[in-house]
Amino acid sequence: MHLSLCRQSSQAYLVPLLLVVASSFSISPVFGTLVAFKGNIVSLLALACILTVSVFVSPGLIRIRLNTVSLLCGLLFVVCALFNSLYWGLPTFVVLVYVLTALLASHQISRETLIRLVRLLTILHLVFLFGAIIGFFYSMLGGDPLLMIENPDGRENGLYLTTFSNTYIFGFIRPSAIYDEPGALSFFTCLTVAFRELLCMRRKVSLWLLGLGLVTGSLSHLVFVVLFMLHGYLLAPDGRSVLKRFISLILLSLSIYMFIATFVEPLQSVVEFYSDRLVLTDGQLQGDNRSESMRDAIRYVDVRVALWGLDGNCIIRNASCNLGHLLNYNSNPLSMLVHYGIFLSVPYYATALFLAYLSIRRRDLMILSVLLLIMQRPFVMSYGYSLILMLYVVSLTKFCKRSHLVMVTQDVPSNVLAGGPMKIIRRLPA
């Protein structure tokens, strides 16, 4: 009987593990050096294994189903992509393979499987972030990288004891764990917290994730933290106490800042770097590396580019593609329009509009936070990212259809509920 329970438990976590491989691990250059396949192949193989497990090994583990709305969306994506292919005379529609498979896989995931996935992501990123903290201080004390690997974009990524990083400035690193850059670590950490809020999991663990994630030095991470705190303030019945804790956290952070800046000489450069990222210069934050790429993207936008993209060869990454002479238009809301054109980038803008609609309708700052994340990291159609984002979007409609929520951890008197139609959501264990 004990062996049977262990077997059932291992099977229950098989699909969540495959989802982690298909999302987080597939985009990791560290993981890429350990396997014989490229990240996109690893992601697709993991998704294929999930469907295989569901059909042949454990039919009860995943509920096989097709959603009519998602099916119509998928058909719309394909039809629009075919217009782009006809214009260029190239099979540009193949770039949809990641988002379409992610959309299909997301509809097969049950709530129980999603909870197990989020718990795995939580543990994984807590380990990553503790390692990032250790590696951060290791580099600050003069530690050199123990080995170097190459990122897909050609930049070097060094191992600093317990974390990788491709950014070394002012005598310290911005950690990225197993990812190619610090922003990716921050992105997956924030998405993990967004999933935890969707599933009503303990906020203390989420705060640990967000607090430790500040070591990445990402401005978008800081914005996410602020919105997370405001989200908790708006939802909690005792909103004043949440606001007090938020103000106390700010005052404590300022006190630590002044202490470090005044007395601890080795940390002054760290404090100056992070504080300088929040300084306004000519109407732009010093740490804002998206506004310039946005301006570059605007320079390329005309009728032809807006409809079909810059170059069909670059869309499918042919050898004849040469982007070296072009300005940097990546990682902003217009980059998909410039690179793919509106017909091929429908999945991205449809996802953004859907998140904007839900955030307004449900008055949910967490959904707004995810929208802001994909505006500065618009990778809805990229392998790895597409899976975690489609899973979040689908989960919003499958597992969370309420627009008025009060999230508590204890019983609430009946008079608290007298003011309106509010659902009481019990928080799950970490």
Euclidean distance between the first and the last CA atom of the chain, given in angstroms as a whole number? 27
Structure tokens at 171: 């005598």
Q: Give the model confidence (pLDDT) of 212-250 as tens digits.
A: 998 898 888 888 988 898 887 766 655 556 566 666 666
**How far lies 15's CA from each of 18, 57, 61, 94, 390, in Å?**
5, 11, 8, 26, 16
Task: Identify which of 226, 192, 231, 197 has the alpha carbon closest to the alpha carbon of residue 209.
Answer: 192
Q: What percent of the chain stands above pLDDT 70?
A: 71
| Model confidence at 310: pLDDT above 80 | yes
Task: Identify which of 43, 425, 375, 12 has the alpha carbon closest to the alpha carbon of residue 196.
Answer: 425
Structure tokens at 5: 């329970």
Rounded distance between C-alpha atoms, residue 419 and residue 354, angstroms = 29
Least confident of 241-245, 257-261, 347-351: 257-261
Specify the DSSP class assigned to residue 54.
I
Q: Quick one: 385 exposed, middle or buried, by C-beta within 10 A (0-12, 13-18, 19+)?
A: buried
* Confidence category of residue 404, pLDDT binned at 50, 70, 90: very low
pTM: 0.84
169 against 405, higher pLDDT? 169
Backbone phi, psi, residue 173, to 5°: -110, 160
**Residues belonging to the chain:** 430
Residue 422 region, left (φ>0) first, then alpha (ψ -120 to 50), else beta? beta
> What integer best gives the mean pLDDT of the chain?
80
pLDDT at 126: 97
**How far lies 316's CA from each of 95, 97, 382, in Å?**
7, 12, 12
pLDDT at 289: 59
* Confidence category of residue 424, pLDDT binned at 50, 70, 90: very low
21, 53 contact by CB (below 8 A)? no
Rounded distance between C-alpha atoms, residue 160 and residue 181, angstroms = 14
376: helix, strand or coil: helix
| Model confidence at 412: pLDDT above 50 | no
Q: What is the mean pLDDT of residues 346-352?
A: 96
pLDDT at 3: 46
Element (H, E) at 269: helix 268-276
262 against 181, higher pLDDT? 181
Residue 415 region, left (φ>0) first, then alpha (ψ -120 to 50), else beta? alpha
Q: At what angle do helices 346-361 and 365-376 cross, to 10 degrees?
A: 160
Rounded distance between C-alpha atoms, residue 66 and residue 358, angstroms = 22
| Model confidence at 403: pLDDT above 50 | no
Rounded distance between C-alpha atoms, residue 191 and residue 423, angstroms = 24
**CA dihedral in degrees (102, 103, 109, 114; nearest 10)?**
70
Tokens 């800046």 locate to: 261
Strand intervals (E) in 65-155: 148-150
| Model confidence at 393: pLDDT above 90 | yes
Residue 280 region, left (φ>0) first, then alpha (ψ -120 to 50), else beta? beta
Backbone phi, psi, residue 428, to 5°: -80, 160
163, 135 contact by CB (below 8 A)? yes
Other CB atoms within 10 Å distance of the CB of residue 417: 14
| Model confidence at 24: pLDDT above 90 | yes
Rounded distance between C-alpha atoms, residue 336 and residue 352, angstroms = 12
